[in-house]
Structure 1
Amino acid sequence: MMPDDERGDTARAGEGRSEGRFVGPGDHADVAVVVVTYRSAADLGALIDSLRREAVAHRLRVVVADNDSPDDTLEVARAHSDVVALPTGGNLGYAGGINAAMGVVGDADAILILNPDLVVHAGAIAALRERAGRPGVGLAAPVIVDGTGDRTPSLRREPSVLRSLCDALVGDRLRRRPASLTEMVLQPAEYAVAHPVDWATGAALLVSREAATAIGEWDERFFLYSEETDYCRRARDAGIQVWFEPTAVVRHSEGGSGASVALAALLAVNRIRYYAKYHGPAATLLFHATAVLNELTRAADPAHRAILRTVLSPGSWSSLPHATSRAAAAPGAAARAERASNP
C-alpha cells in the first residue's frame, strides 16, 4: 500500500496536470517542449492551448525561444505565467534557437521540438514518448496534416546524387518509383504504419534525453533547412533509430518561416552544404549539378531563375539569410530566461 504522504504527492501532481498547467524550470518534466519562434504571434496561442490539453496527462515544460520577432510573439508567450519565454538575442535560425532553448529545458525525460504554427492533437505526445522510448529508438516523428486534415508528405530519405537527379527531373510525379530514385516518401502505405525512417521534416520531432545527449547540439551552420537532415543523420550514425509514429498527429498551417525567393534559394543551397559535409569534392560537384538541373527544369518561373543564379554562384551564398547574432542563453542559465508572470 502507498504511504499517505506519497498518495498526497501523487494526488497533488494529478491535480496540477488536470488544470493543464506546465511545470516550472526547477521541476522535473516528462517532456520539455521547445518552440522556436519568429513573427509567430498569430499562431503561438493555439499551440499553447493544445499543449495545455496534453498537460493533463504529462508533466510538460514549455520553452519559447524567440528569434528577435518584430511582432508581439514574446508578449503572447509572456501572457502565460507558466511558459518559459527566452529571447535569444537575435535571429539565430532554427538550429540556433533550439540550441538556445536546450540551455534552459532543465530536468526532462524528452524534448519535443515543435514549430509555432502547429496544433498538437490529443494523445500525440503519449504516442511519441512511447515510440521514442523503445530500445534502439531515440527520435520519433508524428503524422503532419494540413489545415483541411489531409496528410502531408513529411518523411524523407537520405539525399544522394541519383535521388536528387530523379527528383529534379520527375518531381513528385510517378509516386511509385523505387526508393533509390527519390528522396521523398510519397506512397500512402508508408504513412499508415510505424517504421524507421532516414529523416523527417523538423516541424515536429520528439527526442529522448539520452538521444539528445548522444547527438549533441544542432548544427548552426544550417540557419534554416537541412538542419533536421543533419541531426537525424547524426542520430543514425550514433546507432539511434528515427521512427515515424502514425498514431501521433499534429496539424501544421505551414509557412511559419515565411516564403520568399531568398528562403527558397537557401533551401537549395543548404542541401548542397549538407551533402558537402559528408561527401568528398567530386561527389559534391555531382550533387551540385543536380541542384542546378532542378532549377533549370523549372526556369520558366522567374523565382526559379533567381534561385538558379544563386545556386550557380557560391560567392553569393554568404548573402543568404543567416544568423544575426549569438546572444543565446548558455547551458544552465535558466535565470536568464524570462518566465512570464501575470499581474
Structure 2
Amino acid sequence: MTSVGTDVADGRFVAAGEHADASIVVVTYNSAADIGPLLDDLRASARSHALRVLVVDNQSSDGTVEVVAAYPDAVLIESGGNLGYAGGINRALPHAGPCRSVLILNPDLRVRPEAIGRMLETLASDDRVGVVVPRILDHDGQTYPSLRFEPSTMGVVGDALFGRTLWRGRPCSLSEFDYRGDSYHHAHDVDWATGAAMLIRGEVARRLGDWDERFFLYSEEIEYFRRVRDSGYVARYEPSAVVEHRLGGSGTSPALAALMAVNRVRYVEMHHGRTYSATFRAAVALGEVLRSYDRTHRRTLAVVLSRRKWSGLPKATRMAAPL
C-alpha cells in the first residue's frame, strides 16, 4: 500500500531512514535548465506517494547544484567528478534506504501526473516484474520508439541498411528498435528499453547491486536489463505511465557518437564468442560506412575499426570522493 501521511500530503520528499514507495535517482551534468521542472513534477507526485529524491551531480558548471539546493528535502550528492551515468547511479544507491523500488530518471524528463503511481501499480501486480518502463513522448508529443530488442547482428544490419525511417514495418529481427505502433498501446514484456525512465523493484536493485561502470555512457542499461532477465525477472512496458523526454540531455558530440557505437560492440563482446563479436563489429562498421558522407560517421567508423582508439573515448574523469 502507498504510504499516506502529513509529509506525503504536503508533497515533501521523505528523509533518510524513512520508508519510501520509490527512491528516485537523477544523475545530472550541466542540467540547470531541466532539473527544476523535474523536481517540481516529483513534488506533485510526492503528494500521493512517499518518494525519496537523490540527485547525483557529475561536477556541473552551469548552476545545477544551486538549483537542486533550493529543494532542501532532496538529497544532493556531489560525485566529485564526471563519473558517467552508471557511476552516478552507483553513487546514489547506498542512499536509497528502505524502499519498495528504485526509480531512475533522466534530468531532462517531465513526469506526468499518475505516471509514478501507474508504474508502482504494475510492479505490485505481478511478482515476476523486476522493472517497469513508461511510455515516452518526444518534444512534439509523439510516442518515442523507446522499446528495444536484444542487440543482434541481423538487427544492426537492418538498421544500417534502412535506418529509422525506411521500411519501419520490417521484421523485428532486422532492427534493434521496436517500430510496431501497437507495441506502444498495450502492456507487455520487453527485452529492454531506453534507460531514461525505469522503475526497479527494490529487491531486484539490491540483488543486482552496482551498474557496470565500464559503460561510461550508453549501453549500461542494456547490460542491466540483461541481468534482470538472467535473474528470473521480466521488464514490463506500461503505456498508461507517461513521461515527456526532451531528448539529447546527455549532449551530443563526435566523441559521444563514437562511444555509443563502441559500447554496443563492448556489450556484445561481453556475452558472445569471438566470431559472433567480430561479425557484429563489422555490421556496426557497415552502418557507419553507409553514412560516411557525414564527418561524424567517418570519425566513428575510424574509431570502431581501430581498437587502440577506444582508450581515448570519454570516460570517468576521476573517482568519487568517499561516502
TM-score by length of 1: 0.91
Q: CA deviation at 1:281?
A: 0.9
Q: CA deviation at 1:15?
A: 2.5
Provide the rounded CA distance (Å) in 2 between the counterparts of 1:192 and 1:326.
42
Structure 2 matches for 1:201-216, cutoff 5 A? 201-216=194-209
Q: 2:158 aligned with 1:166, yes or no?
A: yes
Partner of 1:49: 40
Structure number, greater radius of gyration:
1
Q: Deviations over 1:199-219 (max 9, x none)?
A: 000000000111112222110
Q: Deviations over 1:155-196 (max 9, x none)?
A: 100001111111111112211111112111011100000000
Of residues 214, 217, 239 in structure 1, which corresponds to 2:210?
A: 217
Of residues 101, 104, 112 in structure 1, which corresponds to 2:92?
A: 101
Structure 2 matches for 1:284-323, cutoff 5 A? 284-323=277-316
Question: The residue matched to 1:159 in structure 2 has which SS?
Answer: coil
Partner of 2:245: 252
Say if 1:22 and 1:62, in contact at 8 Å, map to a contact too: yes
Point out 4+ residue stretches in structure 1 off by more than 4 angstroms: none
Question: The residue matched to 1:177 in structure 2 has which SS?
Answer: coil
Q: 2:17 aligned with 1:17, yes or no?
A: no
Q: Deviations over 1:302-321 (max 9, x none)?
A: 11111111111110111111
Provide the rounded CA distance (Å) in 2 between the counterparts of 1:122 and 1:59.
15
Provide the rounded CA distance (Å) in 2 between the counterparts of 1:33 and 1:26.
15
Provide the rounded CA distance (Å) in 1 between the counterparts of 2:170 and 2:123.
30
Q: 2:282 aligned with 1:283, yes or no?
A: no
Q: CA deviation at 1:131?
A: 1.4
Partner of 1:150: 142
Q: 2:67 aligned with 1:81, yes or no?
A: no
Q: CA deviation at 1:27?
A: 1.2
Provide the rounded CA distance (Å) in 1 between the counterparts of 2:96 and 2:219.
23
Q: 2:115 aligned with 1:124, yes or no?
A: yes
Say if 1:100 and 1:328, in contact at 8 Å, map to a contact too: no
Partner of 1:177: 170
Q: 2:13 aligned with 1:39, yes or no?
A: no
Question: Over the residues paired in the alignment, what is the CA RMSD in angstroms?
Answer: 1.1
TM-score by length of 2: 0.97
Q: CA deviation at 1:132?
A: 2.1
Question: The residue matched to 2:203 in structure 1 has which SS?
Answer: helix
Provide the rounded CA distance (Å) in 2 between the counterparts of 1:88 and 1:153.
32
Partner of 1:65: 56
Bigger RCO of structures 1 and 2 (CA < 8 A, at least 6 apart): 1
Say if 1:100 and 1:329, in contact at 8 Å, map to a contact too: no
